[in-house]
Amino acid sequence: MFSWRTIRVLVNALMLSLIILASGCVLFLAKETRYLSSATDRATQEEVQQHLGQPSRMMTDETGKAVWTYHIRELVQGGNNAWTMAGTWWCDDYTLNFDEHGILRHWMHESQKCNAA
């Protein structure tokens, strides 16, 4: 039916397609998400602030560990005609948890539509 060579070529083509698909998805992640994914369990508060800027809110939890919140708003452009060009505002909230040594240990991201400025 199929030769081993044909099967091998199909498997290689499938693997290449999956690699391209996976790497393409990275392009749609926000820069904050990409940074936080790489910074978890290693970045200090100072390093996080250098990359993301001043947090919107800085507080401590009941154990005295730092919790930072970043609120990021972005206008996502609408369609390509006069009826749909208005766009939509998206609000991204990032909550960062640091340990007692100031190392980023956990973060959460919530994204939702929000009101215009």
CB atoms within 10 A of CB 39: 18
Specify the amino acid at residue 31: K
pLDDT by 10s per residue, the chain, length 117 = 678 887 787 777 777 766 665 444 445 688 999 999 999 999 999 999 999 999 999 999 999 999 999 999 888 776 665 555 567 888 999 999 999 999 999 999 999 988 755
- What pLDDT score was predicted for residue 24? 47
What is the separation, in whole angstroms, between the first and last Cα of the chain? 63
**DSSP 8-state symbol, 29:** S
Question: What is the spatial distance between Cα 90 and Cα 108, in angstroms, rounded to a whole number?
Answer: 16
Q: Nearest 5°: phi and psi at 55?
A: -65, 155
The domain spans of the chain are 4-113
Calculated CA dihedral for residues 57, 60, 66, 67, nearest 10 degrees: -50
- What pLDDT score was predicted for residue 14? 76
Write down the pTM of the prediction: 0.69
- What pLDDT score was predicted for residue 46? 97
- What pLDDT score was predicted for residue 84? 56
